[in-house]
Amino acid sequence: MSGRKSETRLAQRLKRRIATDGPISVADFMSACLSDPQDGYYMTAEPFGAGGDFVTAPEVSQLFGEMIGGWLVHVWHMAGRPARFHLVELGPGRGTLMADALRVAKLDSAFLGAARLTLVETSPRLREKQAETLANSPLKPEFAANPGEIPDDAPLFLVANEFFDALPIHQHVLTEGGWRERMIGLDDAGELCFGIGPASLSEDDLPPTARKAAPGAVLETQPLANAIAASIGTRIAMRGGAALVIDYGYARSTPGDTLQALYRHEFDPVLARPGDADLTAHVNFEALGHAFRTTGAKISGPMTQGEFLIGLGLLERAGQLGSGKPAEVQERIRADVERLAGPDAMGTLFKVLGVTKADLAPPPFDT
338: confidence class by pLDDT, cuts 50, 70, 90? very high
Whether 270 is covered by a domain: the verdict is yes
Whether 146 is covered by a domain: the verdict is yes
* Average pLDDT of every residue of the chain: 93
CB-based burial label for 320 (10 Å; 0-12, 13-18, 19+) = exposed
Whether 265 is covered by a domain: the verdict is yes
How many CA atoms, within 13 angstroms, populate the side-chain half-sphere of residue 255? 17
Whether 63 is covered by a domain: the verdict is yes
193: confidence class by pLDDT, cuts 50, 70, 90? very high
Q: What are phi and psi of 345, to 5 degrees?
A: -125, -125
* Domain containing residue 93: CATH number: 3.40.50.12710
Whether 127 is covered by a domain: the verdict is yes
- H-helix or E-strand containing 218? strand 218-221
Q: Is the pLDDT of residue 50 over 60?
A: no
Pinpoint the alpha helices (H) of the chain.
Answer: 9-21, 26-35, 41-44, 57-60, 62-78, 96-105, 109-114, 124-133, 223-239, 285-293, 305-311, 314-322, 327-341, 346-349
**Domains held by the chain: number:** 1
How many CA atoms, within 13 angstroms, populate the side-chain half-sphere of residue 342? 9
Whether 183 is covered by a domain: the verdict is no
Whether 362 is covered by a domain: the verdict is no
Residue 220 · residue 279 · CB < 8 Å: no
∠ Cα 33 289 65 (to 5°): 70
Q: Is the pLDDT of residue 2 over 50?
A: no
pLDDT value of position 298: 96
Q: Is the pLDDT of residue 41 over 70?
A: yes
pLDDT value of position 49: 53
pLDDT value of position 4: 45
Residue 137 · residue 105 · CB < 8 Å: no
Q: What is the largest CA-CA distance in the chain?
A: 66
pLDDT value of position 47: 60
Q: Is the pLDDT of residue 46 over 70?
A: no
pLDDT in tens, 307-324: 999 999 999 999 999 999
For residues 118-140, give the mean pLDDT: 94
Q: Measured between alpha carbons, how far is 168 from 26 in angstroms, rounded to an integer? A: 7
How many CA atoms, within 13 angstroms, populate the side-chain half-sphere of residue 305? 31
Q: Is the pLDDT of residue 48 over 80?
A: no
For residues 179-189, give the mean pLDDT: 97
pLDDT value of position 266: 87
Calculate what percentage of the chain has a pLDDT beyond 90: 88
Q: Is the pLDDT of residue 157 over 80?
A: yes
Beta-bridge partners for 300: 354
Q: Is the pLDDT of residue 205 over 50?
A: yes
For residues 50-65, give the mean pLDDT: 80
Calculate what percentage of the chain has a pLDDT beyond 70: 96
Burial 200-224 (b: 16+ CB within 10 A, else e): bbeeeebeeebeeeeeebbbbbbeb
Range of the domain at 311: 43-168+222-356
Q: Measured between alpha carbons, how far is 141 from 62 in angstroms, rounded to an integer? A: 19
Whether 13 is covered by a domain: the verdict is no
For residues 34-42, give the mean pLDDT: 89
Q: Is the pLDDT of residue 54 over 80?
A: no
